[in-house]
Amino acid sequence: MLKLGVTGAAGRMGRRIVAMGTESGNFEITAGMEFSGCELMGKDVGQLAGLGPMGVPVTEKPENPVDVIIDFSLPDGSKQWVEYCSENNIPLVVGTTGLSEAQRQELIDAGAKIPVLLGANMSLGVNLLFKLAAQVAGALDDQYDIEVVESHHRFKRDAPSGTAVELARQMAIAKDWGFPDCMTHGREGKDALREPKTIGMHAVRAGDIVGEHEIYFSALGETITLKHRAHSRDTFVTGALTAAKWLVKQKPGFYTMFDVLGL
């Protein structure tokens, strides 16, 4: 049984990782971490996850041995865990979104020391969408405009979503358009005409929407649409746990969900 550490353990995703990891029978939760000053510091992670007492308090750093850490925190928090895992030779799965290009590069660089996996989105369906979006973008010429619309709950901090940015990255590579400069974030004003060779990005924040991503490929005369809708956060948790089991068997390197899923 793998000893699992969970960052952001008091958050919505962290609690589900603790619950589903325990229920899977593949993991023992030995550490649950949160940022300094978190009001739930010291609370039992099992109770927070609805499982009852587990004897594992929320702490700033692991107080027990861990075989792998899953990080769903904030971008600055991910930087801390990259450094911690590199120093302690611990494989790291990062599902945190809103990372800058510099922060993403830090994860890539850490792969020289430890196995690191970055998942802009952990679900199988979304990773298939990444592949399909790139394939469609590469097959169409530049008369087709590309627009991405992502929708999430009102509490999501970063915009656009990490998934939307990764969709743009994959399509920009397929089109040989410069990334991230090819992205246009929303439009407003009296002179907001669409520029060629750009990917429009639009973020909706409303209610309790778990996550929806829709891509429009539109020319004069027709539109092709790709869409993914997440029904619950559990699909992301399942992917993260699958990634953690896979990553502990790998050599140091930088990996993505494509590697886990054989895509």
Looking at residue 36, its pLDDT comes to 86
Boundaries of domain holding 62: 2-118+233-261
Phi and psi torsions of 214, nearest 5°:
-130, 135
72 and 23, same structural domain? yes
Task: Give the CA distances from residue 6 to residues 18, 32, 34, 235, in Å, rounded to whole numbers and listed in that order.
Answer: 7, 5, 9, 17
Residue 135 has pLDDT above 90, yes or no: yes
Q: Active-site residue 156, yes or no? A: yes
Could you give the CA distance from residue 110 to residue 116 in angstroms, rounded to a whole number?
Answer: 7
DSSP letter for 230, please.
E
225 and 143, same structural domain? yes
Number of domains in the chain: 2
Looking at residue 243, its pLDDT comes to 96
Could you give the CA distance from residue 183 to residue 250 in angstroms, rounded to a whole number?
Answer: 34
239 and 180, same structural domain? no
Residue 155 has pLDDT above 80, yes or no: yes
238 and 214, same structural domain? no
172 and 108, same structural domain? no
Lowest model confidence (mean pLDDT) among 100-104, 174-178, 215-219:
100-104
Indicate which CATH number applies to the domain containing 14: 3.40.50.720
149 and 105, same structural domain? no
* Conformation bin of residue 185: beta by default, left when phi > 0, alpha when psi is -120 to 50: beta
Residue type, 127: N
Token pair listed for 242: 């699958």
Catalytic pick from 43, 79, 113, 156? Answer: 156
152 and 25, same structural domain? no
Q: State the distance between the two ends of the chain, measured CA to CA, in whole angstroms.
A: 27
48 and 24, same structural domain? yes
CB count in 10 Å sphere of residue 23:
11
67 and 89, same structural domain? yes
Task: Give the CA distances from residue 131 to residues 71, 113, 135, 169, in Å, rounded to whole numbers and listed in that order.
Answer: 24, 28, 6, 11
67 and 196, same structural domain? no
31-61 tens-digit pLDDT? 999 988 889 999 999 999 999 999 999 999 9
* DSSP for 17-32, written as a single string: HHHHHHHHTSEEEEEE
Question: 53-92 burial, b for 16+ CB within 10 Å, e for fewer?
Answer: ebebbbbeebeeebbbbbbbbbbebbbbbbebbbeeebbb
pLDDT grade for 165, boundaries at 50, 70 and 90: very high
DSSP letter for 193, please.
P
187-231 tens-digit pLDDT? 999 999 999 999 999 999 999 999 999 999 999 999 999 999 999
pLDDT grade for 96, boundaries at 50, 70 and 90: confident
Phi and psi torsions of 171, nearest 5°:
-70, -35
Looking at residue 156, its pLDDT comes to 93
Could you give the CA distance from residue 125 to residue 261 in angstroms, rounded to a whole number?
Answer: 11
59 and 160, same structural domain? no
Could you give the CA distance from residue 190 to residue 135 in angstroms, rounded to a whole number?
Answer: 34
Looking at residue 81, its pLDDT comes to 93
Token pair listed for 55: 């004897």
31 and 87, same structural domain? yes
pLDDT grade for 126, boundaries at 50, 70 and 90: very high
Looking at residue 82, its pLDDT comes to 93
223-263 tens-digit pLDDT? 999 999 999 989 999 999 999 999 999 999 999 999 999 98
Q: Active-site residue 231, yes or no? A: no
Task: Provide the whole-model pTM.
Answer: 0.84
Share of the chain above pLDDT 90, in %: 87
Catalytic pick from 152, 175, 213, 228? Answer: 152
